[in-house]
Structure formats: C-alpha cells, structure tokens
Structure 1
Amino acid sequence: MDTNFSILTKIPLAIAILDQENIFIECSDQWTEQFNKKRSDLIGYNFLQVFSWGSSELATILNAKLKREALISGSEQIIKNKKKLWFDWKVQSLIHNKVKYKYLTLKDVTRAKKLDDLIDKTGKVARIGYWEIELESKTLIWSDITKEIHETTKDYKPTLEEGINFYKEGEHRDHISKLVNSAITTGEPWDTELIIVTVNGKEIWVRAKGEVERIDGEPVRIFGTFQDINEKKRAELKFNETSERLALATKEAKIGIWQYNVAENQLIWDDNMFTLYGIKREDFLGAVDAWEKSIHPDDKERGKKELEMAISGEQEFDTTFRIIKPNGNIIHIKALATVKRDNEGNPLTMLGTNWDVTDLKTTQLQLQRSEESFVGAFENSSIGMALVGLDGRWMQVNTSLCESLGYSKEELLKLSFKEITHTEDLEKGMDEMYDLVKGKKESFQLNKRYIHKKGHAIHAFLTVTRVGNIDGKTSHFIAQVADLTQMVINKEKLRDVLKLTREQNQSLLNFAHIVAHNLRSHSGNITMLSDFLRKEKASKEIVELTTMLKSASEGLAETISHLNDVVQVRTTTEEKMTPTGLEKCILGTIRNIEAQINELNPLLKINVKKEHLVNVVPAYLDSIFLNLFTNALKYCSNKRRLEIEVTSKIINNEIVVKFKDNGLGLDLGRYGNRVFGMFKTFHNHKDAKGIGLFITKNQIEAMRGKIEIESVVDVGTLFTMRFEKA
C-alpha cells in the first residue's frame, strides 16, 4: 500500500485510488461501509472484477486511456441482489510521484432516484406538473405534465406572456395576474383554482400554486405546481349546483325533510321542518313524542297508527294531518316517507318529507263550495242556462230556460239546440262553435232567435262558453240564454264586472312587475354582497361589506314597504301621491345597488337639489330610478368608463329631471316606436326582460308626468322626465 494515500481513508466520501490497470491502491472507510466490503477484499484487486461493472459506461471509461487531469462523470444503474441501485460517479486522472492513477468517487443515489421516480409517477397519476420563472431573464419553464395539461408539444417553450394568456380571458386571467404581481411585491404565495384554455381550445379547471424565491430580499425566481382538476372541479360544481337547487326548491316550496332512526327513537329535522312547525331548534327534543305533541288532537291517534303501520310494513306512510303551531295557527300537513330495512326486513330508518297543504285544502273546499254554488246558481238563475254536448243535444237545462222556451225539462232534453233554433239563424255561430271545439277561443256571444213550443219566436242573447277536460280538449259547452228584455240590464252588469276585473288585473299585473323587477335588483345586490362577505378575510373589508349589506337590506325593507302601499291602491294613483325628495330617492337607490356600482366604478355626477320635491307615489319613483340606474350599469360600454349624470331644474310648475349615460345607446330610427313597449329588448343581454322601461313610462304617466328619450348608438342615452312640482 502506498502510504501517501492513507489520508483518504478518513474522508467522509466513497473514494478509491486505482492504478492504470484498475487495481485498488486505496479507498476510504466510507467506501467499505457503503459497499459492505472489507479492505482486504479490495486492496490489490481489480475494481471491475470486484463490482461486476464490466458492461457499464464507467467500465468503458476506466478501460480507456484518460487524458491528463481529465474529469469525467456520469450515472449508472446496476442490479444487486435482485435490486436496482443507482450511482453517480466521477473519474479523474491523477499523477502522483510521476505515476498515473485514477481517482474514483461513487455516490449511492438510489433513494433519491426512487423518490424522483415516485414523484414523477405520482405527478402523472395526479396530473400535477411544475413550472418556474427566472425573473431576470423572464424565462418560463414547464414540466412535461404541465405541457400535457396545456395540450402543447413536449418541445414547446412558452414565453411569460403566453403562459398568462392561457388563462381564460376575464376574471381568471385578471386574477392570476393579480396573484403573481402580489407575490412579487409582498412575497405572499398563492393557491387558487382557475380555468385555462388549452391549445386545442378546451376549457379546463386547474389548481395553480406558486411562491417567490428571494435573495437579499429581492425576488429572483417564481416556482410552483400546476394540477389538472377539471373532472373533480366540474363534478364539484355540478354537485353544488344540484345541492343548491334542491335546497332552493325545498325552501321555496316549504318542504321539510326528516329522518327517524327507529331503534334509537331519534327524529332529525332540517331547517324547513322547524319553520313549518314553528318550533325553535333548541326546544325540539328529537323524539317522536315531540312530533306527536304538535298534531291536532282529532288527528293524533290516526297519525300514530299510520306511523306504526308504516314501520311494520303494513302500508306506506302517505297521509295528511293537521298540526297546531305554538302561535295557535292550525295548518294541514302532507307527509310521505319510505322505510329502509336490513336484510331480515327489520326497520332501520324512515326518510320523509312534510309540506304545508293548507292552501290546497282551502282551495278544495272552495272548489267544493263553488260547485255547490254553481249548481245552486244554475238551477235558480233567472237566465236560461244549459249544458250542451258536442253533438248539440241538451245535457242539462234549468227552470228559467224551460220557462222561456215553453218546454218541460224532459221534453227539452230530448231535443238538440238546432231543433228549436229559428231556421234563419241556423248558421249563426257555427264558425264560432267550430273554434270552441278546436280550442281556438273560449267563448262567444251573439243575438239569436229560438222557436217557442207554441211556435212564436223568442229573441235571445246567447253566450256559449267552452269547458275543457283534464287534457285540455273541449268536453261540452255552457250556454246562457237571456231574453232581449233583460239584455240591456245584464249587459250593463257584465260591463261593470269586466271593467272592475280589468282594473284589478291591471293593478295586479303592475304590482307583479314592480315586485319582480325591483326585488330582483335588491336580492342580486344582497347576494353579491353576501358572496363578497363570505370570501373576504380582512376585518376592515368585512366591516365595510357588512355596512353595505345592512344598507342594502334597509333599502329592500323600504322597497317592500313601498310595494305594500302599491297593493293598497284600489282607486286612483292620485290618492297615494305625496311630496317626495328627488335627492333622497336617488341617493337611496345608489346605496341599494352599491355593490353593483362598486364593481363597475362608474363616474357619478348627481346635481339634484335637496329642496326639489315632486308629487309622486314614492314606490313608483324608487322603481323609476332603480330601473334607470341598473339599465345604465347593465348596458354600459366596455370601451370607456361608465359616466352617469343626473340633473334637475324647475320649469314653471314642473321639475324636469335629466338622466344621462355614455353606454351602448339605442338606434331610435329602428326602435323608436317600441322603446317603451312591454317585453321589448334591444341588446342581447342575458338579464334583459323588456319590462323596465314599460313600467317606468306607465308609472310616470300615472303620476301625470312625461318621459322622453334621446339616444345615439355607442354614444349614450338621455332620459328627460317631467314631474309635478310638490
């Protein structure tokens, strides 16, 4: 042994000195430990024979003549004891005392290699790739899986701008840009879920994580992972959507869901059940006894028996019963349930639903009374009435008709209406009858003559109404036959009834439009604020959002109060008109839609004097400005910042209000006559209903005011409104 190399034995690396024939001259203790060899098994022996690496790249290098001071490195995989091992090696030519040696180091990287392979395989299975950005050179590097997710080729080299542009244009691209900039500035890492658009145009959800590497406080590199979560995310969104729909459906339909664990006698209610029964959750004991206490005494025994029969399997649980709420109100409950059993048929749980059918029961009772009233009215009517079949024969007649025509009921039921119709009037109303049969119209009226049993003509005013069956097809007709002497009186009564009906229907329609239009805006604003509040973490922003939500809620309450005033209007609008401040109304409207305004950040110019009072229905004025503001926000231009200007001035006994925006505008040459029409829309906006301007015009005119419009496409719109000065 050349003692000049003995110092190598203590070096904490696997190092060996070989001569030109690859004979061990010396090696470190780390070498013997790593390969589990004694020094006597190595020194003086050929390396390639000891380790059987004869066919490896390292063997080729060792067998070749190395240039002076040459350094060669590489990696090698070998099989040892049926196990794969990986080594990194380095060979360097060394001259000592004019003798050439080979300096060899071996590093066992098996564990690291296996870990890398595991990470690689895991990444492929989980579809997780990595990326990094060298900030100085702005070089973006993607792993193969990242490229695969983007559906690019493996030799694709993205630029930083291209990497950002893969994110879906709009909120997704804006969000990732904001996160990257924030990370560079503050060092805050990110973990978010966004949509990218692949090279092939496919939209997929990804999870992007990133963080910044800093040197001396300066960002030098951004790196992170990129995971394909498209299937999972879309399944999650679909599940959430279905869950939300189910929750909304049960809430809107007031359907309660309950579960009864039979063995434990435990009854579980959802929130709708507590609302339905009027019971507080903390007062509910969670047993069947708690349910039975709410049942009406007259229905209690039957309810218990039906529950027991359902558990025993004698019958399905499908019943209706009454409950008494804590406030004393009695309501009718419809209950359905299914029983889940074990393999031996023993009952485990019952899952059921409850819903309030009080209105249905009331309707059924009213229908029954209506039928009884119809029969009574039919028999006792002073006007001749009859049920007529499709073949023209009388199915049922009342006493008045028999008296008018001079026949008994038995005689008349044996005839058809054609047999007692004046020959000159036989063709009268035949086309109308055909339309009734086909369902093209519901009724018709005409003057017609019948022949009395004694042979003289009876002049009558005939009304025929179609009656449909459950399929909507015509089953028979209701005929009303009135003598001409009674026609004028009956016609006047009918006109009054129709007038009152139209007024009530119009009032109801107007109110329904106000509710649908105004409350949708308020609810949309509250929903948006609630969503922001749910996502926000900063206390300052939470306080601000809470204040905005409170303001929006107060606005909603005020709107509901005004709508209640609208409902109570039974005569004329003028009776409900009251002096109202323009500025207060406009500022209130802005507060109510503050979330929508903050989202678009328009420039608002409100030049309305506090002392300008108008004589209006407050609910109508709220509705008018809410519609104008939301329309301006909805139909703003994406080419410029939205500007809204509202001014007012007094001209004679009127207050003229001008509402101007720089939005999309309208082609009045094309739509001028239809701008204020019902259900008329002029832009392909998903929320366009064609109701707002129709309601606005009718409300203003109902308050003795006027509205005019000036508009230019892609320039903006100006509304000029004239209100009565208070």
Structure 2
Amino acid sequence: MSFSESHKFSGEGIAHIARIIDKINLGIWEYNTDTKEVKWSSGFYTALGYAPGEIECSYNFFFNQLLYYHDKEVFLKATQHPRQGGSPVAHVRLLTKLNGYQWFENTTQKHDTADGPVIYGVLKNIHALKISEIKVTEAEFKVNEIGRIAKIGSWEIDTATMGLTFSKEMYDIFELDDHVTMSVEEAIGFFEPHYRKTLTNVVNEALNYCKPYDIELLFKTAKNNVIWVRSKGVPVINDHGKCVTVRGIFQDIDSIKRKGITLQSSINLLDDQNKRLQNFAYIVSHNLRSHSGNLKFMVNLFEEAKLSEERTEIFSHIKTISESLSATMGHLDEIVRIQSEITRERKLLDFETIFNNVASALHTNIDRTNAVINTNFSDCPQVNYIPAYLESILQNLLTNAIKYKHPDRNPVINITTRKVGNEVYLIFEDNGIGIDMQRYGDQLFGMYKTFHQNSDSKGIGLFITRNQVEALGGTIQVESAVNIGTKFTVKLV
C-alpha cells in the first residue's frame, strides 16, 4: 500500500515504524488503564541502557524504580492530558543502567480501544540538551543575581535607530517600572544638570568616534533620590570600522562613593589637625623656651646689677617678658580648652542675638572706624552650636575686619548666612586691605602668623577660630585680594 492510497497503516506498517523508531534511539511505551497491561519497545530498553527483558516491564516498576521521585507529579499530569488540562509533553529523569538518572522528553497520547483506554508514549533522550539549558539558566541567574547584589545594570544603544534598551537591574536603579521605554535624551535627563553635558559628550564620542568611556556622575532617580553612579560604555564596530552598537554597564556606587568622599575629607581634616598639632608643639617648645631663656637672662642681670637705676630698668624688662609669657600661656590654654569643650551641649542659637552681643562689645572700635556693618540672617536665622564658639567666631572675624581696614576708606562689612541642605554657612566679607593669598595663603591660619605691619597683630585670632570651627566638624575657606578685601566662608555644620 502506498502513502497516496490511504492515511492509515496496516499492522505490519506500525511494526515497521516501531523498528525504525528503535533504530533512532527513541522508545515507545503503551499502558492500558483498565487492564494495567504495559508494553515497551526495544528502543525503550535501549534508551535506558538495558536489553529487552532485563528489567521488569510493569507500571509499578517504571513509576517506583525508574522515574525520579521529584518528577512523578509532572509525569502524571502529562499522562492524564487532556482531562486535567495539562501538556502532553513532560521532561522527566529516568534511571539508566550505566549513567544514572538522565533527562528524557516524554510525549503522550490517549486513545480509546476495544480493550479499553490506552496511553501511548514516546521517550527521547534529551540529557545533553537539558544539561546545557540548565547551565545557561544557572549562568543567567548568577549574572542577574550578581547584578542585583552589586547594583549593576546593562544597557545598549542601537546606532541605526538610536533605540535604548535596559536590563531589569537598570530599571531598578532608575526606580522605574520595567515596561517603561525612553530615548537616550530622556535617560540623560535623569542626571544632575552639571553632569548632563559630560555624559552627552562621551556618548556622542562613543557613537561617532568609537571611544569607550568610564565615568562617575550624580544621578536623580524617578523617586527623586540623588545617588552616585558609574556609567561605562564600549562601542561595538562592524567590519567597516563603524560603530553599530554601544553597550555598557550602569552601577549604583552611592554608598562606596560617599564613604570615599567622607574618608578623603577625614584624611584632609586629620592632615590639617596634624599640622596644627605640630604648630602647637613648636609654639610650646620654641616660644616658652624663648620666654624662659630671656627671663633667666634678665634675672641674672638683675642679680649682678649694683645700681638702683639698672635694677629698675632690668625689672621692667622682666615684667614685660612675664606678661608675654602669661599671654602665651593664655593662648595655649585657649587652644586646649577648645578641644575640651567639644562635648558641651549645643543650643539653638539666634544669629541676630549673638551678633548684637558681639557688636555691643566692639561698639567703640566700630564707632571709631565709622564701620558700616550689613547683616542678613534671613536664609538661616538659627543654628545648633556651642554659644561660646559662635560668639568667639563672630568676634574674631569682626575684629579682624575692623583691624585690617583699608586706610583710604571706611570699613564695609557684610555678614550673611546660607543653608544648603543640612549644612549651615556663615559668610563674612569686608573691603579691607586684603591678603596676598599666593604668598601667605598656606600660613593664614598658623599660630602667631601675621601678614601686616599692624602693631597690635598677634596672629592668634584666626588660629583659634579655625580650631573652633573644625572641632565641631566644620570648615573655613578664604578668598582675598590685596587692596580689595577678604571673604570668609565658614561651614558651621
């Protein structure tokens, strides 16, 4: 009978097909649900590595001895198809003779016969393919899990369409739903304004000149969280050297970056404190030794002097040295006291009130120099600070502004406050004689460092002010120009 004559096979035809299937390593099985009779083809035995008749051909043996326990439910759902609405195809593990459990694809069909309902199945060994799929799935899971833990996403730009695609981790960093699509320009719009031009330039260079990039930027998520991110792009070129794709990674490095910034700030502060400590040690060793040496010398002269006039003159020198020594000890005591007062309780202080107290104490100097003082504390009227520190800072800065006024004009002093986030700034500007920052900038806050010819300059005020500010975690910056004026920017907290 030819295939063109009928679509039905004779009994011999079915047997012939079974023999062909056996040759291509496929197994056929048959199970009568009424009589419980089971039949396995030769290929069934061969697929499991057995010879026909070497193992028991029964449903119980198959289900309890050959089928992996974890796959029994999957197998049952497939064999009960379509009554349970499942798939007729199941991937199960069967115990082979030589290679342990191997993966097989089992396809089932159910037919009603004169002897009762019969389930037919075809087994195909798919172990190599299944293991490959599992490895790929595991690798993908590991990659995704690493990306999730490390907060790394991947992206790609198609140069032909300028289409932008994101991985799931990218959407997580953006804090967006993963169904949102956006253009390159829209994605760049998430970055802080200062960094948008930088990112645009490096992306254009990657697209047009095949230049890779690796930069760190400030980024604002869809939920308005500002974080540091790392963006890295690598161009992919075709055989003609043209960029066809730019692929890259995008990583949330906010925690690492901020720790690094804090660490560097701490290192800088520690370096500054170390310099001040060295300066302090120098003052203690040099100045006190100088005072004591001078005092000893004068005492010896006093003892050797015979005339009353000589002793009177020498004693006046001893008195001067003693006063200078007392002043030096007072300065050193002030510096030590600054460190000891760090633990004192901070209070909510009103800038206007503290300034008025300072201005009242210095009113004679203010009136004598016709100083004009403009204050504006409206942006940040209050601050949590140690009262004595804030009063001392204002007094030292105001005293300096008056002391170093320009000889050809009356002092004009502008004092303002500003709040940026949680940081409070005190800005102090004057139109005095200024400081040559290029020449004296690195010495400005040194102890007993003076840069003008004023007879009353002692070089202690700014040293104390900086110690007070930095003792509470703040900073002080200076901008100055000779004959123009000076600006102090003090970050209090």
TM-score for both structures, normalised by structure 2 = 0.48
Query: What is the TM-score when the length of structure 1 is the normalising length?
Result: 0.34
